[in-house]
């Protein structure tokens, strides 16, 4: 049987970071197990190609939520990246550190060592930021650039935001988040720059790193209170591999808790209900599921060009040529062009709502199908949702998708904040200079005026924006799954390092926080390895 010092389960965002950092010193043999394959699609490199990957089963697990009353029993798509690079292969590339208070809250909740002063150096270490601003990294592996494309309607939206009362903010990751401005994206020379590009690809030449793709992990080998290795299937063959030091789960907020439960670690009632033998009781496994819920407001426009028309007929061919020869144009755009971080109540110390502005409107928001007439979209998301759901195994079969119950909009705070955010978004669009280009508000439309009507619109149309976290929560209390050093409580030789360990949601898109977490997680693993046995 093959033996490695460390086995990393999952070659996604966190797994790529860990593989690089744990092999850099040359002292440890590392194996990465990834269910997907190599990132070889042309749609991955082209930022606008993310829309083509939302339904691509080769690069997307294509999970779905269970029907829930809070969202009118709709089944909501939950895309998760599949392949080396994980969700950084298919995401919108938006880079947001969050607010300092997010990480201070982690520490206050029992995650010792994770306050902002302690994690901020890892943000700087991982990035090469191409924009202006203090306190940003300049030599890290992850390329972060301000969105380069500028359009008259985006400039008009920024000016409208300023006229409404928001400051212009050139760098929302530089210390103060509030304001309006252009997003920052994980790109290089107009191409997507994934965790695979930044971390795993440079490490592949190292002799102490092995990578197996097309492997489906079936469970963990647990002996007593120790994790000794991993069971998986590859090429139709069942295999085992052992770890001298540790198995590290980096399968993400959906699949890391699923693998723990498949291995008999979790809530007794869940395991018994799925027909799985109980090996170790950890009641927090699969609980504390938190995600960002987003509504999208659309407007019909006049007298100005939008992506709806730019991306059709001969113009799409011209744009493709421009992109291939110069790395510029609208094919370099992801899911957000202009940002807004706003406070829905003046007494709040920091923003609680995030805007995603694009000069495009969607006939089908979930599938990213554009309208034919000129339009624009404002995505509205509450940044720190209080609604908490769960994810649990459906059966003992590792190939069965888990049961996802996000419990969106269960909290009155979430409802009130989202309604207030949508109202403010409408007010900004009704402010000059954007107002002069508006023909009508297509969705939700002027008929929506009361709080109850706004909330019903959210229930009918809102979608996840693919930021699930928290299902293997970090902390020191009985409900925590891992301790502050990311070790699974009560099981030796097993850690979890991915978005699932986040105790609470950060204020914005989560990919930057996941990479930071993996950077610091690698340091913790190496520190423990250096201690005497």
Active site residues: 467
Q: Which residue has the tokens 């699949």?
A: 255
Two structure tokens written together for 404: 């996802």
In what order do the strands lie in the sheet containing 184-185?
Answer: 127-129, 142-146, 184-185
* 490: number of Cβ within 10 Å: 13
Q: Which helix (H) or strand (E) holds 416?
A: helix 412-429
* 342: number of Cβ within 10 Å: 25
Distances (CA, A) of 359 to 16, 74, 300, 413, 438: 33, 27, 10, 30, 12
Contact by Cβ (8 Å): 145, 188: yes
User: Which residues neighbour 140 within 8 Å (Cβ) at sequence distance 6 or greater?
Assistant: 124, 125, 126, 127, 128
Q: Which residue has the tokens 């659309």?
A: 298
Q: In 3D, which of 135, 109, 108 has the Cα closest to residue 122?
A: 135
Q: Secondary structure of 141-184 in the HEC alphabet?
A: CEEEEECCCCCHHHHHHHHHHHHHCCCECCCCCCCCCCEEEECE
Give the phi and the psi of residue 528 in degrees, each rounded to 5: -65, -35
Bridge partners for 98 per DSSP? none
Two structure tokens written together for 290: 């938190």
Beta-strand pair 362-364/353-358: unpaired
Contact by Cβ (8 Å): 499, 468: yes
d(CA 502, CA 482): 10
Contact by Cβ (8 Å): 182, 96: no
8-state DSSP, 284: T
Contact by Cβ (8 Å): 458, 419: yes
8-state DSSP, 273: H
Contact by Cβ (8 Å): 31, 212: yes
Two structure tokens written together for 522: 């690698």
């Amino acid at each position: 049987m093959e033996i490695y010092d460390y086995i990393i389960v999952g070659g996604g965002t966190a797994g790529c970071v860990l593989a690089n950092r744990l092999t850099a010193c040359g002292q440890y043999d590392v194996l990465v197990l990834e269910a997907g394959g190599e990132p070889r699609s042309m749609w991955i490199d082209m930022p606008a190609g993310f829309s083509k990957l939302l339904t691509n089963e080769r690069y997307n697990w294509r999970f779905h939520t269970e029907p829930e009353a809070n969202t009118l029993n709709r089944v909501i798509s939950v895309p998760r990246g599949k392949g080396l690079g994980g969700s950084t292969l298919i995401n919108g590339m938006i880079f947001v550190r969050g607010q300092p208070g997010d990480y201070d809250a982690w520490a206050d909740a029992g995650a010792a060592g994770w306050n902002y002063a302690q994690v901020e150096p890892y943000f700087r270490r991982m990035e090469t930021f191409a924009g202006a601003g203090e306190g940003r990294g300049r030599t890290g592996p992850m390329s972060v650039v301000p969105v380069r494309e500028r359009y008259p309607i985006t400039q008009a939206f920024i000016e409208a935001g300023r006229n409404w009362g928001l400051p212009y903010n050139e760098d929302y990751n530089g210390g103060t988040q509030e304001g309006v401005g252009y997003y920052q994206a994980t790109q290089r020379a107009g191409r997507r720059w994934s965790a695979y590009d930044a971390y795993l690809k440079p490490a592949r030449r190292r002799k102490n790193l092995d990578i197996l793709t097309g492997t489906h992990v079936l469970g963990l080998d647990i002996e007593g209170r120790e994790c000794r290795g991993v069971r998986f299937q590859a090429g139709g063959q069942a295999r085992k591999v052992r770890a001298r030091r540790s198995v590290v789960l980096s399968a993400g907020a959906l699949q890391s808790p699923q693998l723990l439960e498949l291995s008999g670690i979790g809530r007794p009632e869940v395991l018994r209900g799925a027909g799985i033998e109980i090996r170790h009781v950890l009641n927090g496994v699969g609980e504390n599921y938190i995600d960002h819920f987003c509504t999208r407001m659309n407007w019909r426009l006049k007298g100005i060009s939008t992506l709806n028309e730019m991306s059709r007929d001969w113009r799409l061919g011209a744009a493709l040529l421009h992109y291939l020869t110069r790395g510029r144009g609208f094919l370099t755009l992801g899911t957000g062009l202009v940002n807004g971080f706003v406070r829905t109540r003046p007494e709040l110390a920091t923003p609680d709502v995030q805007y995603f502005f694009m000069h495009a409107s969607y006939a089908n928001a979930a599938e990213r199908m554009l309208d034919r007439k000129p339009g624009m979209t404002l995505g509205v998301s509450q940044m720190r949702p209080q609604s908490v759901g769960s994810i649990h195994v459906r059966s003992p079969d590792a190939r069965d998708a888990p049961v996802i119950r996000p419990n969106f909009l269960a909290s009155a705070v979430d409802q009130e904040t989202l309604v207030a955010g949508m109202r403010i978004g409408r007010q900004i669009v009704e402010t000059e200079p954007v107002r002069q280009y508006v023909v009508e508000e297509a969705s939700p439309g002027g008929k929506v005026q009361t709080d109850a009507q706004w909330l019903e619109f959210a229930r009918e149309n809102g979608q996840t924006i693919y930021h699930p976290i928290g299902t293997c929560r970090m902390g020191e209390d009985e409900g925590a799954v891992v301790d502050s050093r990311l070790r699974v409580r009560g099981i030796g030789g097993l850690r979890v390092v991915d978005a699932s360990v986040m105790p609470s949601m950060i204020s914005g898109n989560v990919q930057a926080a996941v990479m930071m977490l993996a950077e610091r997680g690698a340091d913790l693993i190496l520190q423990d390895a250096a201690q005497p046995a």
